[in-house]
Amino acid sequence: MSQIIPRNLIKHLEWNPSGAPAGSSPPPQNPTPPQSPNQGNVILKAELAKYIQVGINGIHGQPVVISPYELDDFNNKTYDDTHVKLIESDLYMPTPKIFRTHFNNVVAAHKGERNLLHADGTQVHQGVVTEMFRHMTQAYIDIYKTGQGGVWTWLNARFVKGDGHNELDLETVVGIGKKKGKFEVDKVKLAPYLISDCFVDLSFNNQGLSSSRSPQEKYKKGENIYFYYPRKDCVARFVADSDRANLYCYGNPSDSYASLGVFGCAEGASAQNSGGSSR
């Protein structure tokens, strides 16, 4: 499976906070072996080499990588229209589990507890880690030049009536269906989560939803986030603003904002399991 991304979608991969020329590679900072057994080189098209390894498998069962920032020209679109544009670009929207795993990885790397790896196995420079951490925890980089800094991204999760926790199921878009306007979705019961809007710690269940309150009732960057629990027929998004980082699970899928875009995910084969062949 090849993932080919138009060049204009990876503009932010070349953004360099150190001011070094685009395309230059800063020296590694105290390189150590990757700390996740799921990490290693991921075989992908060269255009995706500087995406970030998440360390888990994605929705198609292969190691997933994620863009460092929201993608250019993917803002101001509804939930469904964002899915369509991503899939047509051979990408997909991060699930809550993928995004929160990545978020926790960035937090740990910012604290010096681990390294982050690009898809090609090279280490993410510590300066970039710091920029990503700030962007994900506060109103920082204004990706879409709207006056609203910080992460604003859709997440791949729709909450529908079902037999899961709080009588809800989780729908994940995995492709475009044969009928026009229809998606291929994976529908499963929602696992237990907090039925409360509150500050939560950084742990999450197997679907990326919170089940543990934060011991702190005030926001502390890199220690907690604010969780808005799932409501029927709503979708998820993650937003970092001037107040705090938030996981919203009650978004209107018909919303579209100039500041709301999306991170891109792609999958490839793990190098140690690929026999060295590219795909």
Q: Please state the rounded mean pLDDT for residues 39-55.
A: 76
Q: What is the 3-state secondary structure (H, E, C) of the chain?
A: CCCCCCHHHHHHHHCCCCCCCCCCCCCCCCCCCCCCCCCCCEECCHHHCCCEEEEEECCCCCEEEECCCCCCCCCCCCHHHHHHHHHHCCCECCCHHHHHHHHHHHHHHHCCCCCCEECCCCECCHHHHHHHHHHHHCCCCCCCCCCCCCCEEEEEEEEEECCCHHHEEEEEEEEECCCCCCEEEEEEECCCCCCCCEEECCCCCCCCCCCCECCCCCCCCCCCEEEECCCCCEEEEEEECCCCEEEEEEECCCCCCCCCECCCEEECEEHHHHCCCCC
pTM: 0.83
Q: What is the rounded CA–CA span in Å between residue 173 and residue 68? A: 22
pLDDT, tens digit (0-9, with 9 covering 90-100), for 115-140: 999 999 999 999 999 999 999 999 99
pLDDT at 30 over 70: no
Least confident piece of the model among 42-46, 116-120, 180-184, 251-255: 42-46
pLDDT of residue 68: 96
pLDDT of residue 271: 54
The proportion of the chain whose per-residue pLDDT surpasses 70, expressed as a percent, equals 80
pLDDT, tens digit (0-9, with 9 covering 90-100), for 210-247: 999 999 999 999 999 999 999 999 999 999 999 999 99
pLDDT of residue 25: 38
pLDDT of residue 39: 52
Round the average pLDDT of the chain to a whole number and report it.
85
pLDDT of residue 178: 80
pLDDT at 48 over 60: yes
List the chain domain ranges.
152-251
pLDDT, tens digit (0-9, with 9 covering 90-100), for 86-103: 999 999 999 999 999 999
Least confident piece of the model among 36-40, 67-71, 164-168, 174-178: 36-40
Q: Please state the rounded mean pLDDT for residues 61-71.
A: 96
